Amino acid sequence: MAMSTPLAAQASLTELAVALRNLRRPWPKGWPGLPLVFQRAWQQLALGSPRLGSRVHALQSFGRSVCEQIERDGAQRHARGAEPAYHNRLHIADTLVCMTYLIKASVQAQVPGANAPQVVALALAIMAGHDFLHPGGSNSQPGEFESRAVQDLQPLMQSAGLSGSDRQDVAHCILATEPSRVKAFHMDVRSKPFDLRQRDCLAVLVQEADILASTLPQTQQGLTQALSREWSATQPVAAGNLLLPENRLLFLEHAALFSSPAANWLGLDRVKVRQVSQIKNQLARQP
């Protein structure tokens, strides 16, 4: 497996931070639309124009239609002041960009499956749909919103002609983003060869793409504040606690898990360690 050099990893992380910043510049008034973000991710990963009727074409059609529906719904909700502050179109865009860079890093780390168009297309399609029509807030019971997303995506998967196996993979990976399930997936894949053609390994990459922007120092503060605003109406105490440095420490040490070779190649644990050290120093200086 290829090892990253500090310079190569830092260059990739800098590119990712710039890409995430560029998403925020036009948000929300000059927003170009989620379908364009999906199209650019598709182009960056050199997926090209798949053959009509192929598996990759079906995944492309599914991803596009998901993004189009999320964009319509999000724009309508935004117009009446009801789009969630965190689980919105920008979050989906963030995860598409983060998955793009995790796939690129997977190629650099020579991960099996990372160059397979079917795997790459599936990864983008899953990120497009992982928080499909999210109502905002958090689950009242484990897997509530994830299960709803899978159910609501069924007609789009059928319309796009997704195979039974791809439909199962989409559902499996979306359900894996439920916070209480994340740690078990990471523990499991650490004990076996990492292969993106394996459903559980792909699920881990999806989990990492979901929280990567919230882990990076350049974007974490704005995203934490957005999630706090989203929770404020129904969970005011929890919303306030999100902004405390102790909560950030808890997130970095227990929720921001990275186990893939791509994450290792990018040096994401080093990114976390630097932040943890800074927060602990900050807390130690408090009276």
Closest CA to 133 of 150, 155, 149: 149
Q: Say if residue 239's pLDDT is above 70.
A: yes
- Among 17-21, 138-142, 203-207, the least confident range: 138-142
Residue 176 CB-half CA count within 13 A: 26
Report the alpha-carbon distance of residue 253 to residue 174 in Å, rounded.
Answer: 23
Q: How high is the pLDDT of residue 287?
A: 80
**Domains, the chain, ranges and CATH?**
6-285 (1.10.1300.10)
Q: How high is the pLDDT of residue 2?
A: 55
User: What burial letters (b/e) apply to 40-65, b meaning 16+ CB within 10 Å?
Assistant: bbbeebebeebeeeebbbbbbbbbbb
Q: Work out the average pLDDT over 219-241.
A: 97
Q: Work out the average pLDDT over 151-174.
A: 98
Cα–chain center distance at 78: 21
Q: How high is the pLDDT of residue 159?
A: 98
Q: What is the pLDDT of residues 174-223, one digit of tens each?
A: 999 999 999 999 999 999 999 999 999 999 999 999 999 999 999 999 99
Q: Say if residue 245's pLDDT is above 60.
A: yes
pLDDT, the chain, mean: 96
104, amino acid identity: K
Q: How high is the pLDDT of residue 240?
A: 98
Helix (H, G, I), strand (E, B) or coil at 246: helix
Q: How high is the pLDDT of residue 286?
A: 87
Closest CA to 226 of 101, 94, 85, 32: 85
CA distances from 61 to 20, 55, 68, 151, 182 (A): 25, 10, 11, 18, 28
Largest Cα–Cα distance of the chain, in whole Å? 65
Report the alpha-carbon distance of residue 264 to residue 279 in Å, rounded.
Answer: 22
| Cis before 28 (ω within 30) | yes
Closest CA to 62 of 128, 17, 112, 5: 128
The owner of tokens 């983008």 is 124
